[in-house]
Structure 1
């Protein structure tokens, strides 16, 4: 559960009621309405409640939604209305709509994308949105809806490696090359109940069916729904019939709940078996004294509190947000925290596992996170302090890996400091035990710190944590947020293509060397934390010796 703005991963930007609706969207709404009337749209002309419904639609969504509308293609607004309306039925979720946009032709000389104008006009009859299913006649008929054209946040060029193209002059090779150079582009729009990590779930779904995300825009409504628009390539044909069928099968086979609906039941029976008896860590809610709220997350809140006279941190899950995936995360976090105890791991005190009071109690860390220390206070660390913090993290992570635990969300927001400035690894909500020789494939973590194999949904192991540590080390050296000129998803797609943070110019050469080894593309080339710790300890000793010599000691 993430509590830091822009550090956590969510399907949509953080909600702010001040940013929804308002005068900006009123102006855009009126422009949309007037354009629909000018275009002779039958629904806009004949429905006496149309303007009121349009007003409600715009006031559900953030101002950024209105700013993305192409006024030459305002009928897309009606499509979005219908998708959001269908998504209210939990049995339909997720509702989705697919259409072919265009073919991108890569020229033979430089393979830059040259767009071929082949965008069909696609209709969506009033009753045709049905959990992504339309009749074949409806899908192929001409009509009102055209492509969204201003979703350019990611806009990643698809380039082909010219070395892979056989340039022989035979007709067979020429035909094969022509097929390779023409890439069909499709748009897929999802609507469902909004929830934490929905963007990861949708991205994984598209990846699992072999699609590559070229553009993405995601919006949350004020009443808890999402509207997520993806422009993708990877489907071999302009025809969408097979893609609809493939998407239905992928959704049916995907894990977890799409509706985000709550399940009211006791969580204790889902906790992993442990030699330690439950009564040793189960805490009576009535013995907790709740203090000030420290932070708020998408599905819970973090409080300072008191338990048996001791300052504690209490992470409370809201029962109304509970679903299968959150149950698993809660049970896994409790199970892992019960098994680990180290000076560089936040100490587990206990948990309440009976509804309506689901919470995890850990030691209170009064100096907050490294993220706050670095970025909110704009602090640049001196080398000895930087190395001390980095060694603390290494010690904690080395211990976890010895215990066969993968953290999967290592970042400065999850590294906390106590009164003695000891850094401790915290937040095990997505951590997992790893069986001997086992690997994982689920995309989990936070994009700016995520390893490329995790982004690509490839098998990964503990070396994914090492990659995340490289980004943490870069943060400690630079006091900057990684990829701060990009959105989180842009950063993730860049890392997948080999992007790394710019190397700091004034950093110690040894730190640069460690960073580069830790963020190697191939996990096997990354060192284990035991080796990283030794190198950092040797470096801090060199720094100390140099300082002593300078002081004449």
Structure 2
């Protein structure tokens, strides 16, 4: 498909065109569309949504997400710059993250993360997510691939866009439940129990508490450099997460020490009302041992595969 010219709105009243030749290659393919690297007053990320802009229900949902982006401005949240609101081409334009995803950091550079760095990264995520939740914005797809890390700063991206996934997939649905690798690890039990081929992604019970559960998985990745239950098939994970049996085994096997285990246990609580909000989580992270203090367990240190 040819790359379109885009008329970008900085506000609901003003707009400006971006010629097609300012859009570079696709950076990533998401549930809801493609992210292009582009140039518009500097380098930007252009999220082209693959939805029917002529469908009024779809357009209304898209405009709601744009409004969420427009009301955010925080150092740990991706910077909104504009949106294309004219069908058939719908897009959200943000600053371009120069760093790498946290997914890559913990797997490729994990040996460089000491406990102070892990705590700082986790605190930045909690601060950014607390800000979004204070504005009643649910991320719905919080994972290490949607968190960027550059020059000691965390930036959370793609919040809210997962709500568009069911619209994108509408008409492509069949009797097979498609589960991307690693996705189950971020999903709270109440979401996993509702999953089926007949239920669209945007109909799943995402909530602020579900975002907290997803943060728990990222915090686990920071400690051990991978998802929990990595080598198990998706069907087994679904049962273990949905029944919450897997959490106890994961925590016992990880042997991460009292303080880290308490945070993970709280985030991964089987009942959503028992999970903390991001405000008390910030206090829990602040109380973690520092590198220059005696640790409760050596598991707080990063262990390289060697």
State whether TM-score is above 0.5: yes
Q: Deviations over 1:42-98 (max 9, x none)?
A: xxxxxxxxxxxxxxxxxxxxxxxxxxxxxxxxxxxxxxxxxxxxxxxxxxxxxxxxx
The answer to whether the aligner puts 1:278 opposite 2:41 as a matched pair is no
Aligned pair in 2 of structure 1 residues 537, 298: CA closer, same or farther (>3 Å)? closer
For 1:456 and 1:324, how far apart are their aligned partners in 2? 31
Tell me if structure 2 keeps the 8 A contact 1:283–1:352. Answer: no
Q: 2:237 aligns with which of 491, 494, 519?
A: 491
For 2:66 and 2:157, how far apart are their aligned partners in 1? 12
- Stretches of structure 2 that go unaligned for 5 or more consecutive residues are 1-7, 165-178, 195-203, 295-306
- Paired position in structure 2 for 1:306: 39
Correspondence 1:104-119 to 2 at 5 A = none
Q: 1:511 aligns with which of 255, 260, 274?
A: 260
Aligned pair in 2 of structure 1 residues 364, 529: CA closer, same or farther (>3 Å)? same
Q: What's the RMSD between the two structures over aligned residues?
A: 3.4
For 1:298 and 1:520, how far apart are their aligned partners in 2? 27
Question: Which protein shows a greater Rg?
Answer: 1
Aligned pair in 2 of structure 1 residues 482, 453: CA closer, same or farther (>3 Å)? same
The answer to whether the aligner puts 1:350 opposite 2:119 as a matched pair is no
- Paired position in structure 1 for 2:28: 295
Q: 1:341 aligns with which of 68, 73, 94?
A: 73
- Paired position in structure 1 for 2:154: 423
Shift in Å, 1:532:
0.7
Q: Deviations over 1:266-304 (max 9, x none)?
A: xx9xxxxxxx94035x44233982123212345522121
- Paired position in structure 1 for 2:225: 479
For 1:336 and 1:295, how far apart are their aligned partners in 2? 22
Aligned pair in 2 of structure 1 residues 545, 296: CA closer, same or farther (>3 Å)? same
**Helix, strand or coil: the match of 2:269?**
coil
Tell me if structure 1 keeps the 8 A contact 2:220–2:227. Answer: no
Tell me if structure 2 keeps the 8 A contact 1:448–1:492. Answer: no
For 1:487 and 1:322, how far apart are their aligned partners in 2? 40
Aligned pair in 2 of structure 1 residues 379, 323: CA closer, same or farther (>3 Å)? farther
Aligned pair in 2 of structure 1 residues 366, 477: CA closer, same or farther (>3 Å)? same
Aligned pair in 2 of structure 1 residues 391, 496: CA closer, same or farther (>3 Å)? same
Q: Deviations over 1:497-547 (max 9, x none)?
A: 1122622545342111110111111122211110111121232xx415539
For 1:522 and 1:403, how far apart are their aligned partners in 2? 23
Q: 1:330 aligns with which of 42, 62, 65?
A: 62
For 2:266 and 2:224, how far apart are their aligned partners in 1? 18
Aligned residue pair count: 259
Shift in Å, 1:393:
0.6
- Paired position in structure 1 for 2:290: 543
Q: 2:214 aligns with which of 450, 464, 468?
A: 468
For 2:284 and 2:188, how far apart are their aligned partners in 1? 22
Q: 1:455 aligns with which of 185, 189, 192?
A: 192
- Paired position in structure 1 for 2:198: none
- Stretches of structure 1 that go unaligned for 5 or more consecutive residues are 1-267, 269-275, 433-443, 548-553
Correspondence 1:86-485 to 2 at 5 A = 277-280=11-14, 282-286=15-19, 289-297=22-30, 300-308=33-41, 310-318=42-50, 327=59, 330-375=62-107, 377=108, 379-380=110-111, 381-418=113-150, 420-428=151-159, 429-430=161-162, 446-457=183-194, 461-485=207-231
For 1:451 and 1:341, how far apart are their aligned partners in 2? 28
For 2:191 and 2:293, how far apart are their aligned partners in 1? 40
Tell me if structure 2 keeps the 8 A contact 1:405–1:431. Answer: no
For CA contacts below 8 A with separation 6 or more, give which structure has more relative contact order.
2
Tell me if structure 2 keeps the 8 A contact 1:346–1:362. Answer: yes
The answer to whether the aligner puts 1:527 opposite 2:276 as a matched pair is yes
Shift in Å, 1:378:
5.8
**Helix, strand or coil: the match of 2:287?**
helix
Tell me if structure 2 keeps the 8 A contact 1:289–1:307. Answer: yes
For 1:397 and 1:447, how far apart are their aligned partners in 2? 20
Shift in Å, 1:333:
2.5
**Helix, strand or coil: the match of 1:301?**
strand
- Paired position in structure 2 for 1:262: none
Tell me if structure 2 keeps the 8 A contact 1:300–1:318. Answer: yes
**Helix, strand or coil: the match of 1:278?**
coil
For 1:496 and 1:283, how far apart are their aligned partners in 2? 47
